[in-house]
């Protein structure tokens, strides 16, 4: 039953991933941005990745309709560290505030550095949970096959 639920979840997320890949970026991430990218992937991408149905992305698509500001946070070039800090520490709408025990001040600085870096330095979009699950399942299958 647990596996069925996981399969349904993976299928639902994979649909979103397929849509996200429409505007996928490619290339490596600058080494100094990798910590911030991992923090973004863990705490922010579940609501803000380039998948139109996500809570943050769909809200921001409405907020910025008719402008050239992208709905996905990872594609924005207009954010600054102070603005990111205010939203992360206070939350907005149904975005929760994040405490320093969840995201430390140092991690917030790394996260802000990632979200304000030139797009070419950010590299490919952060891996989403569904993509990670698909990758790990394939790795596990390859491992099981290799052991036979
Ligand atoms: C539970 C979902 C959720 C999570 C998790 C989340 N957000 Fe949000 N975020 C939202 C929503 C919803 C909005 C409000 C959109 C609006 O104003 O209509 C928002 C708004 C924002 C804004 C304001 C953007 C603007 O132009 O108005 C920033 C910046 C932001 N989030 C950053 C982050 C960062 C960084 C993280 C990770 C630490 C994060 N969010 C995690 C849902 C989320």
Domain boundaries, the chain: 2-147
Q: What is the pLDDT of residue 3?
A: 54
pLDDT of 14 higher than 50? no
**In this prediction, what percent of the chain has a pLDDT beyond 90?**
75
pLDDT of 10 higher than 70? no
Of the candidate CATH numbers 3.40.50.300, 3.30.413.10, 1.10.760.10, 1.10.10.10, the domain formed by 2-147 belongs to 1.10.760.10
What distance in Å separates the CA atoms of residue 110 and residue 81, rounded to the nearest whole number? 10
Q: What is the pLDDT of residue 16?
A: 46
The atom number, within ligand 1, closest to the CA of 54 reads 2
Q: How far is the CA of 137 from the centre of ligand 1 (A)?
A: 30
> pTM for this structure?
0.83
Q: How far is the CA of 92 from the centre of ligand 1 (A)?
A: 7
How confident is the model over 110-130, as a mean pLDDT?
94
Q: What is the pLDDT of residue 129?
A: 84
């Amino acid at each position: 039953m647990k596996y069925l639920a996981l399969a349904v979840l993976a299928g639902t997320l994979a649909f979103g991933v397929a849509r996200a890949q429409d505007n996928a970026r490619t290339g490596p991430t600058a080494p100094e941005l990798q910590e911030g990218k991992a923090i973004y992937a863990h705490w922010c991408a579940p609501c803000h990745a380039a998948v139109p149905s996500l809570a943050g992305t769909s809200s921001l698509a409405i907020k910025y309709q008719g402008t050239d500001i992208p709905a996905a946070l990872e594609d924005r070039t207009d954010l600054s560290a102070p603005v990111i800090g205010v939203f992360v520490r206070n939350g907005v709408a149904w975005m929760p505030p994040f405490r320093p025990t969840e995201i430390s001040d140092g991690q917030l600085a790394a996260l802000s550095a990632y979200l304000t870096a030139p797009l070419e330095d950010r590299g490919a979009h952060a891996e989403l949970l569904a993509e990670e699950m698909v990758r790990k399942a394939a790795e596990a299958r390859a491992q099981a096959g290799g052991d036979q």
